[in-house]
Amino acid sequence: VCISKCLPQCSVTVIADKFTPNTTSDVAAGILIPHPYPDTPIGLQKRWFQETFSYLLTICNSAEAADAGIHLLSGWQICQTAPEEKFPFWADVVLGFRIMTEAELEKFPEHHFGQAFTTLKCDSQRYLRWLESRLRGLGHQMEDRKITDLWELHGHYDVIVNCSGLGARTLVGDSELYPVRGQVLKVQAPWVTHFIRVGDGSTYIYPGMCSVTLGGTRQKDDWRLSVDSTTSQDILNRCCTLEPSLKKAYGITEYVGLRPTRSAIRVEKEMLLRNGSQLPVVHNYGHGGGGFSVHWGTAQEATHLVEELIVPLQGSLAKAKL
Ligand SMILES: Cc1cc2nc3c(=O)[nH]c(=O)nc-3n(C[C@H](O)[C@H](O)[C@H](O)COP(=O)(O)OP(=O)(O)OC[C@H]3O[C@@H](n4cnc5c(N)ncnc54)[C@H](O)[C@@H]3O)c2cc1C
Ligand SMILES: O=C(O)CCC(=O)C(=O)O
């Protein structure tokens, strides 16, 4: 969508073996909160988060908000003790960031410090459907197909943009990429209207447009996509400790996703060479537990790299193909 918006001279084909509702992105709570990427400079992480926040806030403030599945959400991030950094780098990106008052903390007797703020939340499936419909509306293509080697695309497209998430491990042999398994519950509890997040991200409650997402787990190198019922009960117990009214939650469904994790998000261009031929590729994967939070920022970065690659083509081609 970002390429089609910023480089309207390009025609775009999205090739994937899974589309919504069957991707990792569909499992996400879709909350905008930064996640650590130790080898991505903080300045860049902040810029990507800021660009994503501003872009989604504009949609949220427009008539498109409901169709796009985007809304504001206020709540609390709580810690047992105050962290060294009481004001994180993203404090001035979210809205109304402040330290919680003693009166607010009374709700959480085990926690003695907290941050209150308003952020954005995407209803993952609605947002993905909306993105797809925007692409289709602009006349771009969607193709349901597994790619085993990027060279299959050689000669068919001018630039390949590799947004294959965890699939990049085999597709481009990136052994730095690993899964961090996450299990969540989606429940009906329309009376819960504030988010609650334990500071280390181990437990969270995120009310959304259609359900409340309860999490979570972060299981490194665990490839299991099946639901673990003991884990579901544990998630529910942890969330009920923070928000006892969730004992009355109903309509519980369970989901598992594998976060495509590496120490830095990989947004870079690469010129693949084989038998004297060139295949220009822009990589954009490895978003770990924060893909929603930085997706537009990284998409803009990737789009800029695509632009650099198509400049030499522009004299010779009417419309570049991606
Ligand atoms: C439980 C859980 C909760 C989360 N909550 C949040 C949250 O609240 N906020 C947040 O910011 N992030 C959250 N995340 C993280 C977020 O979901 C990920 O960062 C994001 O989904 C990654 O998106 P992606 O497009 O890179 O990968 P994916 O969504 O996995 O998409 C990759 C696509 O590439 C395709 N593909 C891969 N390999 C191939 C191939 N060889 N051939 C063809 N197609 C291929 C796949 O079919 C798929 O369509 C959460 C993750 C989990 C698991
Ligand atoms: O970490 C969070 O609070 C939101 C959920 C998430 O991003 C995750 O589970 O990866």
Q: Identify whether 8 is preceded by a cis peptide bond (ω within 30 of 0).
A: no
Measured distance CA(287)–CA(163) in Å, rounded: 10
What gap in Å lies between CA 26 and CA 241, rounded to an integer?
27
pLDDT at 104: 97
Among 24, 267, 281, which is best to mutate for testing ligand 1, by the most ligand atoms less than 8 A from CB? 24
Closest-CA residue to 161 (of 265, 305, 22): 305
Amino acid at 23: T
Amino acid residing at 300: Q
Q: Looking at domain 2-321, what is its CATH homologous superfamily?
A: D-Amino Acid Oxidase, subunit A, domain 2 (3.30.9.10)
Q: What is the ipTM of this complex?
A: 0.99
The reply to whether ligand 2 has any atom less than 6 angstroms from the CB of 33 is: yes
Asked whether the beta carbons of 191 and 314 are under 8 A apart, the reply is no
pLDDT at 315: 65
Question: Ligand 2 pocket test: which of 31, 52, 292, 293 has the largest number of ligand atoms within 8 Å of its C-beta?
Answer: 31
CB 195 within 8 Å of CB 206: yes
Max distance between CA atoms of the chain, in angstroms, equals 69
Ligand 1 pocket residue status of 260, Cβ below 6 Å: yes
Residue nearest to atom 25 of ligand 1 (CA): 165
Residue 82: C-alpha distances to residues 77, 87, 114, 116, 310 (Å): 11, 11, 8, 14, 49
pLDDT at 200: 94
Type of residue numbered 271: M
Mutate to test the pocket of ligand 1, among 1, 13, 17 (most ligand atoms within 8 A of CB): 17
CA of 110 to the centre of ligand 1 (A): 33
Q: Which amino acid is at 311?
A: V
Which residue type sits at 54? S
Cβ of 17 less than 6 Å from ligand 1: yes
d(CA 203, CA 251): 20
Rounded Cα distance, 126 and 69, in Å = 5
What spacing in Å lies between the alpha carbon of 292 and ligand 1's midpoint? 9
55 lines ligand 1 (CB under 6 A): no
* Cα gap 198→203, rounded to integer Å: 6
Phi, psi (degrees; rounded to nearest 5) at 262:
-150, 170
Q: CA distances (Å), 144 to each of 13, 68, 147, in order?
A: 10, 23, 10
Residues 100 and 185: beta-carbon distance below 8 Å: no
End-to-end, the C-alpha distance of the chain in Å comes to: 12
d(CA 3, CA 304): 9
Nearest CA to ligand 2 atom 1: 201
Ligand nearest 24 Cα, by number? 1
- Per-residue pLDDT tens, the chain, 322 aa: give them: 999 999 999 999 999 999 999 999 999 999 999 999 999 999 999 999 999 999 999 999 999 999 999 999 999 999 999 999 899 999 999 999 999 999 999 999 999 999 999 999 999 999 999 999 999 999 999 999 999 999 999 999 999 999 999 999 999 999 999 999 999 999 999 999 999 999 999 999 999 999 999 999 999 999 999 999 999 999 999 999 999 999 999 999 999 999 999 999 999 999 999 999 999 999 999 999 999 999 999 999 999 999 999 988 776 555 667 7
- Compute how many other C-beta atoms are within 10 angstroms of the C-beta atom of residue 80: 12
Alpha carbon distance 140, 256 (integer Å): 30
Q: Which two tokens stand for residue 114?
A: 């907290």
Pair 144, 17: CB distance under 8 Å = yes
Report whether 191 contacts 214 (CB < 8 A).
no
Beta-ladder partners of 154? 157
* Residue 77, both tokens: 């991030």
Cβ 150 under 6 angstroms from ligand 1: no
